[in-house]
Every structure is written in C-alpha cells, then in structure tokens.
Amino acid sequence: MRVVVTGAAGFIGSRFTEMLLDEAGRLGYDDVVLLDALTYSGRRENLEGALADPRARFVHGSILDAATVDAALAGAHAVVHLAAESHVDRSIAGARPFYETNVVGTHQLLESARRAGVERFVHVSTDEVYGSIETGAWREDHLLEPTSPYSSSKAGSDLAALAYHRTFDLPVMVTRCSNNYGPRQFPEKVIPLFVTNLLEGRTVPLYGDGHNVRDWLHVDDHCRGLLAVLERGRPGEVYNIGGGTELSNLDLTRRILALMGADESSIEPVADRLGHDRRYCVDWSKIRDELGYAPRVAFDAGLAATVAWYRKNAGWWRPLKATA
C-alpha cells in the first residue's frame, strides 16, 4: 500500500517519516512517497536516513500543483498532510503564502485524494486555531477563534478538511498539536533560536513580559500520536495531541539558560509580538481514551537532549541562520 507524507522534509515531517518507516511493515505500507517543495525550512538532508530505505521515494513538488499531487496520490491508500507555512512572525510580515499553502494547497490535496479514493487522510493542524484560553483546556469541539494570519489559515484548512468528510465522505481525521520541540527544528522557532543564539555568544529575544504560556510536546510524542490516528482514528473526528508540560516563556528561557551555563543577563526583552496569544492548552483525553496515546518524553530530558543535538550539529543549523 502507498502512503503519501506531505511536508516530509520539514522538522516534524522528517521525524514522522522515520517513525512511519519503523512501523511500515506492521501497518502494511510498502510504498512511502515523500512530497515536499523544499522551501526554506524543508531540507533534503533531513531525509537522508529515510531515503536509504528502498520503500521510500522523494517527490520534489508543491501541494499547489495539481499534476504533482495527482501523480503522488494515484493509487494511495493514505495521506498524512504535514505541509504548511507555520511561523507566526512570518505570517505577520507577509500573510499571502500562508493562505496559499495552508488553505489552497490543502484544498488541492483534498480534491486529489477524493479523486484517488484515498482511504485515510490525516490533516495535521495546531492548537493555535482555538485562540487564547485563560484557564482550563480546549476540547476538540471548542469554537475556533484564531488570532494570527498563520492560525486563521490553519483554521480554514481544518474546516475545509472536515467539510470534505461531511460532503464527500472523504475519510479525514484532523489533529491539533501543542508546541513541538526536538532535533532538526528550523532555528526561527523559540527553542532552537535561543539555543543557537547562546552557542553564538548572543542574547535571546524574549517577547513582552515573558508570561505567555505554552504546552510543550516532543516531536517523537507528536509523531506517535499521528501514527495512532493514521492507524486507528475515526474519520470525521478531531484529535488534540498535547505534551502535558505547561511553561511560561520566561520559565522556558530559564531552563534553556541553565542548560547552556548562562544567566539572565543573556535575556534581551523585546516588544511583544502583534496579537500574541496569552495561553494555549489542549485537553488530549480523547486521543488518550480512544487510541491509547500518552506523551513519553519527560520535558527536562527532552530539552536537554535537544540542546545537546544543536551543540553537536552546528554544521546543520549555522547555514540556515545565515540565510534566514
């Protein structure tokens, strides 16, 4: 059976691909198509290990291109859709690519999947579609209240995916994850940005008062959740995937500083981001109860391992920072 992974050369996509190949025999996938446009954050080198597997093959192309998507999905049993523009700051600076890729590109995939008769379609989204929550945690049926161009484009793609299930009976499942971290994350995101800045002897830019709160999810745990949804998720359903570690940005920064042997003199307060949501938190009891998901990576251990990876792999991230 064929499974198509979009955005496969990115941070989450490349790790998901590795874990999928580990499980491919059990799941029955002998043809793993890795589709990526190789924009700034998609790196072919992220797939070096995966492409050594004879079951995997790479397709360089955009999800906006109908011919490319139709060819990749022809005969496919499943799609795991990770391709997205995902950095909030970039969406504030220029929103159009976010709506093109996240909404129009997702529509192209849905149309191609419908024509191809795909039997499983996992649409990967974000907790940011819910907006900010003062207390408690979002359930999957919470009203969508996105506040940035990025999150609104993802909300639009979520609604399109669920509409294709309702109208065309396309077997779509939507996942919404909390903040990911781990090796190979592009160094514009907060953890790799702060770690690599400190490795370069620079300060770390902390937005506002530092008390915005996020739930942190190791990329391996996220990918385990995606595999569970791919295998056993119910079409038409939404599954939150959380990490179970809530931290303010200031608390996170202090943990990074401690691991790097730095102190708070390395913090550079900067003006807060436009429309910065105060707190995100998802209720992930549904995926736990239905599919047996639970995060396995303790945050402090995962953060230490992530810091160690960036220490050892300057050759991977330095060129990216130079051109970002």
Can you give the three-state secondary structure of 136-196, one letter per residue?
Answer: CCECCCCCCCCCCHHHHHHHHHHHHHHHHHHHHCCCEEEEEECEEECCCCCCCCHHHHHHH
**Could you tell me the pLDDT band of residue 65, with boundaries at 50, 70 and 90?**
very high
Encoding tokens for residue 219? 């990329």
Q: Are residue 19 and residue 120 in the same domain, yes or no? A: yes
pLDDT for position 210: 94
Q: What is the CATH number of the domain that holds 157?
A: 3.40.50.720
Catalytic residue among 36, 85, 128, 158: 128
Residue 289 lies in a domain: no
Whether the per-residue pLDDT at 323 is higher than 80: the answer is no
**Could you tell me the pLDDT band of residue 101, with boundaries at 50, 70 and 90?**
very high
Residue 287 lies in a domain: no
The Cα-based distances of 281 to 136, 176, 216 in angstroms read 7, 11, 9
Measured between alpha carbons, how far is 321 from 200 in angstroms, rounded to an integer? Answer: 11
Is residue 231 among the annotated active site residues?
Answer: no
Dump pLDDT digits (tens) for 151-197: 999 999 999 999 999 999 999 999 999 999 999 999 999 999 999 99
Q: Are residue 192 and residue 174 in the same domain, yes or no? A: no
Whether the per-residue pLDDT at 64 is higher than 80: the answer is yes
Residue 291 lies in a domain: no
Q: What is the CATH number of the domain that holds 303?
A: 3.90.25.10
Which of residues 277 and 137 earns the better pLDDT score? 137
Q: Are residue 310 and residue 223 in the same domain, yes or no? A: no
Whether the per-residue pLDDT at 242 is higher than 90: the answer is yes
Place of tokens 């396309």: 170
Q: Are residue 149 and residue 26 in the same domain, yes or no? A: yes
Q: Are residue 118 and residue 198 in the same domain, yes or no? A: no
**Contact (CB, 8 A) for 229 and 175:** yes
Residues 6 or more apart in contact with residue 286 via CB below 8 angstroms: 139, 140, 237, 239, 240
Dump pLDDT digits (tens) for 26-50: 999 999 999 999 998 999 999 999 9
Average pLDDT over residues 215-223: 98
Split into its structural domains, the chain has a count of 2
Q: Are residue 99 and residue 203 in the same domain, yes or no? A: no
The pTM (predicted TM-score) of the whole model is 0.97
Q: Mean pLDDT for the chain?
A: 96
| 3-state DSSP helix/strand/coil % of the chain, to nearest 5 | 45, 20, 35
Q: Are residue 156 and residue 56 in the same domain, yes or no? A: yes
Average pLDDT over residues 13-21: 98
Q: Are residue 156 and residue 203 in the same domain, yes or no? A: no
Dump pLDDT digits (tens) for 276-311: 989 999 999 999 999 999 999 999 999 999 999 999
Average pLDDT over residues 200-226: 97
Catalytic residue among 29, 99, 130, 150: 150
Q: Are residue 226 and residue 210 in the same domain, yes or no? A: no
Encoding tokens for residue 216? 């942190």
Is residue 127 among the annotated active site residues?
Answer: yes
The Cα-based distances of 144 to 6, 91, 130, 227 in angstroms read 24, 18, 5, 25
**Strand runs (DSSP E) across 8-65, as ranges?**
31-36, 56-60
Q: Are residue 236 and residue 254 in the same domain, yes or no? A: no
Average pLDDT over residues 250-277: 95
Residues 6 or more apart in contact with residue 219 via CB below 8 angstroms: 11, 12, 15, 180, 181, 182, 183, 185
Is residue 310 among the annotated active site residues?
Answer: no
Q: Which domain holds residue 57?
A: 2-180+217-241
Residue 14 lies in a domain: yes
Q: Are residue 77 and residue 9 in the same domain, yes or no? A: yes
- Please name the helix (run of DSSP H) or strand (run of DSSP E) that holds residue 245, with its range, or none: strand 245-248
**Contact (CB, 8 A) for 10 and 44:** no
Catalytic residue among 127, 140, 221, 277: 127
pLDDT for position 324: 61
